[in-house]
Structures are given as structure tokens and as C-alpha cells.
Amino acid sequence: MASLISCPHCGARPKEEFSIRGDASLARPAPDAGADAWFDYVYLRDNPRGRHSEFWHHSSGCRRWLIVERDTVTHAVHIVRDAALSKLDGEPA
């Protein structure tokens, strides 16, 4: 049986309908931040072990951006929410 992601708009769908697009916990630097801050933001990524929030795109479904919290060890999906309606750490809703 294929792994399923519970899209808040489409219901349970096969994970192959989605594209992982990156870390949802990154804080964007201020526009006037130095080159080092922008380099780190664009190119450097942690490789976390355990629960982690990621941007996923439901590319073969509703085409909405989602925030998926999953365990990077077991690949278990814990929470799925619409990115447009979610408050990220340190950002307004």
C-alpha cells in the first residue's frame, strides 16, 4: 500500500501526488541583510533527525502549498496544514 498524505482540501492522497519543496522553518533575512546571511538562507540547509516541518506542493491535486510535519527517520506524517492559512514560527498568520 502506498504512503498517504492527508491533504486538507482533497483528503488522503498518495504521496506521489506531492513534491517536497524544502524546510518550512527557515526565517527569511531582512532585505538589507548582508551577503553572508543571504548565502546561508539560500544555500545552507540542516539535515534534521526526527520531527521536521517542510513545504510540500500538491502538484497533482489541488495545487495548494502545504506544511507537512513528518519524522525524517520513520517518514511518519504527523500534521498537514495549508501553508497560506498557517502561522510559521516568528511570522504573522
Residue 10 identity (one-letter amino acid): C
pLDDT of residue 29: 95
Closest CA to 29 of 17, 13, 43, 18: 43
Q: Which domains does the chain have, with CATH numbers?
A: 4-85 (3.30.2270.10)
Give every CB contact of residue 3 below 8 A, 6+ residues apart in sequence. Answer: 14, 15, 75, 77
pLDDT of residue 90: 45
pLDDT, tens digit, 9 for 90 and up, residues 23-66? 998 889 999 999 999 999 999 988 889 999 999 999 999 999 99
Average pLDDT, the chain: 89
pLDDT of residue 92: 43
Name the 3-class secondary structure at 16.
helix
